[in-house]
Amino acid sequence: MNGMPYVLEHPQTARPLIMGRHGMVSSGHHLASLAGIKVLQDGGNAVDAALATSFTLTVVRPHTCGPGGDLFVLAFMKKSGSVEALNASGPAPQKATIEFFKEKGLTEIPNAGPLSIAVPGAVDGWIELHRRYGTMDLAKLAADAIGYAREGFALTRSLAASIAELAPSFPMIEQSFRRPLDDLTPGRVLVQKDLAQTLEQIAKKGRDSFYQGELAARMCNAVQKEGGIVSEEDLQGRYAEWLEPVTSTYRGFTLFEQPPVSQGFIVLEILNIIEDYALDRPGVVDQADIVHVMVEAKKLAFEDRINYLDDPRFGDPKISLLLSKDYANNRRRLIPDTASSQDRAAASLGGDTTYLCTADRDGNVVSIIQSIFAPFGSRFVAGGTGLIMNNRLCGFGLEPRNVNALDPGKRPAHTLNSYMVLRNGEFFAVGGTPGADDQPQTNVQVLHNLLDRHLAPQAAIEAPRWSHLPGTPPRSNVPEELRLEEGFPPELLKKLVAKGHKVNIVNRWAFGSAAVIVKDPASGTLMAGADPRREGYAIGW
C-alpha cells in the first residue's frame, strides 16, 4: 500500500451492504444471525454472539453442523490485541487402526455409516470458548437454538433439497427429517425435539453432560450397535486446544489463519506466491493473467497440502518453510505462462459446512467455522439424541507411509479454515466460507477483492469466482477443469483457453458461501456481506 490511505470502493451489488456502529453478525442463516444480534443488543460481547449464532446454526442447518461435529475459532480480543486460534476437532477412536480396516477388506475408510465417525470436538470447543471469553450464561446463549429445535422453524430450500437427496438411501435421515414433514416444500415447519433436549442438557450442565454420563452412553451404544467403534473411553479426552494461528503479511496487512490440522496455511501460501504480481494496480496486469496466476499458485499450494498437511502431534507440516517469503519466491518461479496440469490433488470428500463471524462495539471479533463434514455427516443419527454424527474419519488415508494416515488419537486433516486481517495492529477484516476444497480458493479471491481491489465486503463476495478442479486418476475418471461462474468477460475466457486452461462455464452462484465483516478504516463503521450463493445473511446495528 506504500503508505497510501485505504479507501473502500462501493459498486452496485445485488444485496445491500450491511452497516452498523455497535455490532455485526454474518452467518449461514438469518435466524442464526438474528440470535447473535439479539445477544449483542442485550450487552453480550462478540464471543457471546458467536456462540448464540453457532448454537442456532446447529438447529437451522443440521445437515452441515452440530454437536456431533467439529469447529475451529479465530478470536481477536481488543484488550490483548492478539489473534488466538481454537482447534476443537476430534481425533480417531482408539480402535481406529489401519489394520482394523484392512482386516475388514477395506482399502478406504467408508464415507458414511458408523465406521466413518470420529470423536466429535464441537461441544468441547463451545464450552472452552465460553469459559475463556464468554460473559453471559450459556443457557441464555442457547435459548433461541433450543426454541427453534423444540417449536420448529421454516424449512429452507437447501435443507429440503439435502433431505430429498439422502433420505431415500439412509433410513435414519428418512426417520429423523423426512417423516416429520408433510412434504419438503420450503416453508414447512421442522421440529427436532430430541436435539432440543440434547442442547438444553449441554447448555445447563456443560461439557461433561455430553462427553460423560447418560448422553455419552446413549450416543456410543447407538454407534456400536450398528458396528461403529467410538466408545465412552474415547470421549474422555479434552479436544479443544488453544493454538497460535499461522500468519503472514500481504501488501501491508497481517493475515492470520487456522494452524494445522487445518489447511488454512495454503491460503497464506497462495497470497505469498501472488504478492509479487501487480494485482493491486488495475490496468497493469490483464484480468486473465490475474486468474491464471492465482490458479497456478493454487495448484502449487495444494500440492504442498498433499505432501505436508498432518497432525503436528504425529508429523511435521513444515509450516515455517511453507510460509516463508523465500519459499514463495521459489514456488513463484514454477508458474508457467500456460496452464500446467494437475492430477494428483484429489478433491476432499467433504462438502457441507457453515461459517459465521461476529464483531462488537468494543472491538472484539470472532470467527467460527463448524462442520459434520459431508451433508448430514455420516448419515447416522444417534438414537433418541437428535445428534447427527460426523463422517470425519474418512478424511484419513490407509497408506501408512503417507501424511494424514490413520492413527488412533490422531486428528484428520481438515478443510475447515477462516481468516482474520489486521492493519497496523488494528482489526480490518474477518471472513470465511463453506465449500471443502473451494474454501481456500474462495477465501483467496475474496481477500484479493478486499485487499487489492478495495471492494466493500458485499461487492467482494458477489464478484464472479473460479474454482480449479484437479483430475483424480486412478480412482476416478474426473477430468481436470477450470470452472468459472457466469459473469466473467468473454475476452477473459478466450485468453484463458488460449493459455491452455480447460474452461467450463457454470451457474453464476456456484462456489462457496462467504461471510465477511470489515471495519472501515476511515469511519470505524462495521460493514458486512453475506453470499447470495446460499442462504447466508448479515445483520448489524
Cα–Cα distance, 323 to 266 (Å, whole number)? 9
Q: At what angle do helices 325-332 and 287-308 cross, to 10 degrees?
A: 120
Nearest to 173 by CA among 373, 389, 22, 21: 389
Active-site residue, 353 included = yes
Least Cα distance to 507 among 470, 480, 534, 535 occurs for 534
Closest C-alpha to 130, from 120, 119, 118, 142: 142
Q: Cα 236–242–244 angle (5° rounding)?
A: 145
Phi, psi angle pair for 398, to nearest 5°: -110, 15
Q: Where are the alpha helices (DSSP H) in 463-504?
A: 490-498
Residue 84 in contact with residue 77, Cβ under 8 Å?
Answer: yes
Helix (H) / strand (E) containing 201: helix 193-205
| Residue in 353, 358, 385, 442 annotated catalytic | 353
Place of cell 442447518: 61
The answer to whether 178 touches 169, Cβ cutoff 8 Å, is: no
Count other C-beta atoms under 10 Å from residue 284's C-beta: 10
User: C-alpha distances in angstroms, 43 versus 49, 126, 361?
Assistant: 10, 19, 10
> 238 with 407: CB under 8 angstroms?
no
Q: What are the cell numbers at 274?
A: 501472488
> Which helix (H) or strand (E) covers residue 292, if one does?
helix 287-308
User: Would you list the DSSP string of 125-166?
Assistant: HHHHHHHHH--S-HHHHTHHHHHHHHH-EEPPHHHHHHHHHH
**CA 315 – CA 313 distance, rounded (Å):** 6
- Output 205-212 pairs: Cβ under 8 A, ≥24 positions apart: 206/127, 206/138, 207/123, 207/124, 207/127, 210/67, 210/123, 210/235, 211/123, 211/124, 211/235, 211/236, 212/236
**How far, in Å, CA of 123 to CA of 141, rounded?**
14
Give the count of alpha carbons within 13 A of 20, CB side only. 21
Bridge-based pairing state of the strands 418-423 and 387-389 = unpaired
Supply the DSSP symbol for 450.
Answer: I
**DSSP character at residue 39:** H
Q: Mutual orientation of helices 193-205 and 46-60 as an angle, nearest 10°?
A: 160
For residues 7 and 9, what is the distance between their CA atoms, to the nearest angstrom? 7
Please list the active-site residues: 353
